[in-house]
Each structure stands twice: as structure tokens, then as C-alpha cells.
Amino acid sequence: MADTATRPAAPAPTPAAVRAPVRRSPTAPPRSFVWTRRIVLSLLGVFTATPVYVMLSSSLKPLDDVTGSFRWFPSNLTVQPYIDIWDTVPLARYFLNSLIVAGAATVCSVVIAVFAAYAVSRYRFRGRRVFTVTILSTQMFPGILFLLPLFLIFVNIGNTTGIALYGSRGALILTYLTFTLPFSVWMLIGYFDSIPKDLDEAALVDGCGPLGALFRVVVPAAIPGIVAVAVYSFMTAWGEVLFASVMTNGTTRTLAIGLQGYATQTQVYWNQVMAASLVASVPVVAGFLLLQRYLVAGLTAGAVK
């Protein structure tokens, strides 16, 4: 991008340059293009931003504003919903549950994936292809496929051994690994492959063991990729709904399910729903936007190539 900006608009008016008007240089695209761009991107911007605006503005409205006909602006601005959300449902507990479950799933899958990806990226061994194909293919299976058997397995383990897996955070973390682990392994293989092998071979020659090479050379060099994978895993686990809807109970419920508590038999506290949604979104959106560059690079290193 930078070199196009500094490129001169047009060379001296030789015959060739006369034929190619100045307008066509990338720094000054033709009006038709500029106007198409303005219109299309504005429409897309409105489409994208509307729900975000509704979430934000509704969270600052008094209850009367959200139960009656829709209002674009609050009749009077209030932060009361942000105070009430913590009492209407045990939001703090749901928050903590989400944090524990998503955090543990992320840490487990990234740590395990680092070892696995290192093996796949640096060694040639029998079954390597089978392993990568299995990892890739489990990513395409729908969660519903694993939900029924895992549910039955947990219920049955509970019945035969008395270990209450079903409804526990541990069981939920385990089910979250069904999608965070394959993703982490797959992405880290791509990332490790992009680190020159000479680097860790040099470390091996210098007397590091394979683990030394991994932790002193490969992992430090792959930090952006590891961060990207961790953030992405955390985001998906934080937003997970299917397993949480079946595998949690009153004390282990995550935000995904807990937010449904603002709808009572008689009334939906939409302003509180929106406030709680915003509170639940802030950590991941902030993380995403802060680490956007790493994330994009990490995601596409695996996906594009």
C-alpha cells in the first residue's frame, strides 16, 4: 500500500502517458469507482452498524422506551439498566463461568496443540497424514454430532461412577475442546511451517534438546500466531451456545444461556438484555480489535495458503 501512495501520479507527458489518463493511477481512481465505493460501503456500513447502535442505545433507555413502539433515541438517557442487570439474573456468576470455561479450554487446547503442531511441522513420521486429515475433518463436523453421544457418555459415567460430569464446568471444557483443539492444531501447523527450520536446527546443533528448540526458538518466533490462535479459541468458546444449552445447570450456566434469563413470563427487560449483551461483548470485541492484525495474519496464514 505504501509504495502506491508515494508513486508519482503520472510521468512526463510522453505519447504513452497521454493515452493513459492520470485518473487511472491507483492514487486517484475514476469518479465512477469512487462513487460506487462510497455508496456501497455506506450501505454496508449502515447494515453492519445498525444492530450495534440498537444494542448500545437500547441499553441506555428506560424500560418504557423498549416495551412500546421503537424509538431511535432514548427519551431520557439512563445507566440504570447497567446497574439492574446484576440483580435480575446472577450475571456475575455467569460471567465467571464463561471466563473459567473459555479460559481453560483455550489454555488446554493451545498447550496441547503447540506440541502436536511442532511434531507435525518438524518431523516426518508414519501416520502424520492420517493425523492431519483427521484434525481437518473433525472441523467440518457439526457440533450436534458430538453433542448427543457426549451427553449420553457423561450421563452414564455419572450413573456408574457417581462422578457428576454432566452439568460440571470440567465436562463443558472438555466438550469445548471438540472445536478449539482441531482449530488450534491446524492453525499452529501453518504457523510453525512458516518459521524457517534452520532456526531450530541451529538450536539443536547448539545442544538444545527438541523441547529446548521448541520452547527457546519456535515458540518465541511464533508468538503472534499463538496469540491469534488463543484469542480466536477464546472467542469461539466465549460465544458457544449449543453445548452450553445442554451441558450446564443453574450453577454452571454461561453467559450464552444466562442472558435468556432476562425474559420472564410476563416481561422481557430488553434494555437490560442489551446492557448485558454489551457487557458480555466488551472483552472479546476489545481483544479482537486490539489483536486484529495478529489475528488476520494468523487466520489467513492457515486459511489462504
Partner 1 sequence: MTTLDTPRAGSPAPPPPEPPRTRRARLRVPARVRRAGLPYLLLLPALLLELLIHLVPMGVGIVMSFKELTQQYIRTWGDAPWSGLDNFRVAVDFDAPVGEALLRSFGVTCAFTVLAVGLAWLLGVTAAVLMQENFRGRGLLRALFLTPYALPVYAAVITWSFMLQRDNGLVNHVVHEQLGLTDSPPFWLIGDNSFFALVVVAVWRTWPFAFLILMAALQNIPRELYEAAQVDGAGIWQQVRRITLPSLRPVNQVLVLVLFLWTFNDFNVPYLLFGKAAPESADLISIHIYQSSFVTWDFGAGSAMSVLLLLFLLLVTAVYLLVTSRGRKHDG
Q: Which residues ranging from 206 to 245 are in contact with partner 1 (CB under 8 A)?
A: 206-207, 209-210, 216-217, 220, 235, 238-239, 241-242, 245
User: How many contiguous H segments (helices) and E segments (strands) does the chain have?
Assistant: 17, 0
Among 62-70, 73-81, 84-92, 189-197, the segment contacting partner 1 (CB under 8 A): 62-70
45 binds partner 1 (CB under 8 A): yes
Candidate list 74, 90, 103, 143; residue touching partner 1; CB under 8 A: 143
Cβ atoms of 135 and 185 within 8 Å: the answer is yes
Question: Concatenated DSSP letters for 31-62?
Answer: HHHHHHHHHHHHHHHHHHHHHHHHHHHHTTS-
Per-residue interface string for the shown chain with partner 1, residues 80-99, x marking contact by CB under 8 A: --------------------
- Asked if residues 43 and 34 have their Cβ atoms less than 8 Å apart, the reply is no
Task: Report the C-alpha gap between 26 and 232 in whole angstroms.
Answer: 34
Smallest gap, in angstroms, from Cβ of residue 161 to partner 1?
13
Is the Cβ of residue 104 or residue 150 nearer to partner 1 in the bound state? 150
C-alpha cell at 247: 451441558
> Is residue 4 within the footprint of partner 1 (CB under 8 A)?
yes
Question: Which of 8, 13, 149, 250 is the binder for partner 1 (CB under 8 A)?
Answer: 149
Nearer to partner 1, 3 or 87 (CB): 3
Separation between Cα atoms, residue 300 and residue 296, nearest integer Å: 6
Least distance to partner 1, CB of residue 211, Å: 9
> What one-character DSSP code corresponds to residue 237?
H
